[in-house]
Amino acid sequence: MLGAGLVVLALTCLVSIAVGARAIPLDQVLRSFVDPGGVPADVLAIVRGLRLPRTGLGLLAGAAIGLAGALMQGLTRNPLADPGLLGVSAGAALGIVIAVALLGISSLYGYIWFALAGALLASAVVYLLGGVGRDGATPVKLALAGVGVTLLLGSLTSAIVLSNPVALDRYRFWTAGSLAGQDTGALLRVAPFILAGIVLALGAAPALNSLALGDDVARALGHRVGLVRLTGAAAVILLAAAAVAVTGPIVFVGLVVPHVVRLITGPDYRWLLPYTLVLSPVLLLAADILGRVLVRPSEMQVGVVVAFVGAPFFVALTRQRRIAEL
């Protein structure tokens, strides 16, 4: 089934390159890579210059956001957790508005580093605050610290954007969540962070299985709970911060996909994380394709499409848990 998921992902990538304001036949898409001399110049420019980087970004960002969500749910033992719990989106937003409003930076290549730095710094502060005390970074303390830091950074962001129209325009575009307008340079900037996060995440899978049984059981099985949470938090920070810095805060991918994957794999993180790594880009790219088709020749932001899909799932999940608790 994992192999079937990889096939579906490959087909989704091909459709993402072929579909848009101008439909391109799949044979021309394939020839653009194997025999570019036999493809019209305008088609080659669209495929290689626009849609290939966009699809690559969807592949990386989808994998990063989905994997970060699965890790957050395992680390906090909270099935409703997502990467925003560590203040990633709030930190990236503040970094962008500081770069635009206070430093006059308007290009992606300039403010992407501020967004990444803000996300990393906010997440580090959340983890440090959540780790205060003898018990260390417990799930409840991490959640409370994340909420507090997110509210604080959100207030600072609002204060800046309301006093600067340029920052407000840039912030509104970024916060909608989009894969459009990026090139290969953006992929190269975030790829090392995402790849490092994937390695850390997959390496933490066996320990997450023990952690799901409780901290005492995990310690009895020989795991250092504090180190496990620190490694998992580092992976979440790298994955979510890099993706959010480029695409904006795309919600629900990190919530929906891990729960769908659990229906296939069960709770074993050694399988849950690889499946999530494969299926999360499928959801994000499919939403991006749908956004391009629904309002053609214009397009709908992928963050809006994913929200339409994820919101009913979130409501159903919370109702199911409430019934189970009753």
Query: How far, in whole angstroms, is CA 250 from its chain's centroid?
Result: 7
Distance CA 140, CA 147 (A): 11
Which range scores top for mean pLDDT: 162-166, 193-197, 295-299? 193-197
pLDDT at 324: 43
Looking at every residue in the chain, the average pLDDT score rounds to 82
What is the tens place of the pLDDT at every residue in 178-219?
Answer: 887 777 877 888 888 899 999 999 988 888 888 777 767 777
pLDDT at 146 over 50: yes
Residue 201: the pLDDT is: 92
**pLDDT band, residue 63 (cuts 50/70/90):** very high
Tally of domains in the chain: 1
Least confident of 82-86, 150-154, 194-198, 284-288: 82-86
Q: How far is CA 16 from the centre of its chain?
A: 18
Which pLDDT score is estimated for 323?
A: 37
| pLDDT at residue 47 is higher than 50 | yes
Question: What span, in angstroms and rounded, lies between the C-alpha atoms of 241 and 64?
Answer: 9
**Model's pTM, two decimal places?**
0.85
Query: Does the pLDDT value for residue 3 go beyond 80?
Result: yes
Which candidate, 62, 91, 83, places its Cα nearest to that of 303? 62
Cβ neighbors of 143 (< 8 A, separation 6 or more) are: 76, 78, 81, 85
Calpha distance 304→189 (Å, rounded): 25
Whether the predicted pLDDT of 326 surpasses 60: no
Taking the C-alpha atoms of residue 230 and residue 74, their distance in angstroms, rounded to an integer, is 13
Q: How far is CA 63 from CA 35, 153, 279, 294, in A?
A: 30, 26, 8, 24
Q: Is 153 in a helix, a strand, or coil?
A: helix
Task: Taking residues 107-118, report their average pLDDT.
Answer: 77
* Average pLDDT of span 297-315: 81
Burial 88-104 (b: 16+ CB within 10 A, else e): bbbbbbbbbbbbbbeee
Q: Is the pLDDT of residue 53 over 80?
A: yes
Q: How confident is the model at residue 301 (pLDDT cuts 50, 70, 90)?
A: confident
**180: Cβ–Cβ under 8 A, 6 or more apart, which residues?**
54, 299, 301
Assess contact for 38 and 47: CB atoms under 8 A.
Answer: no
Assess whether pLDDT exceeds 80 at residue 125: yes
pLDDT over 90 (residue 282): yes
The pLDDT value given to residue 179: 84
What range defines the domain where residue 47 resides?
A: 2-325
Closest C-alpha to 146, from 203, 95, 76: 76
**pLDDT tens sequence across 235-257:** 888 888 888 878 888 878 888 89
170, 106 in Cβ contact below 8 A? yes
Q: Is 124 exposed, middle or buried (0-12, 13-18, 19+ CB in 10 A)?
A: middle
Compute the distance between CA of residue 228 and CA of residue 244 in angstroms, rounded to an integer: 24
**Residue 180 CA: distances (Å) to CA of 15, 20, 305:** 16, 11, 14
CATH number at residue 277: 1.10.3470.10
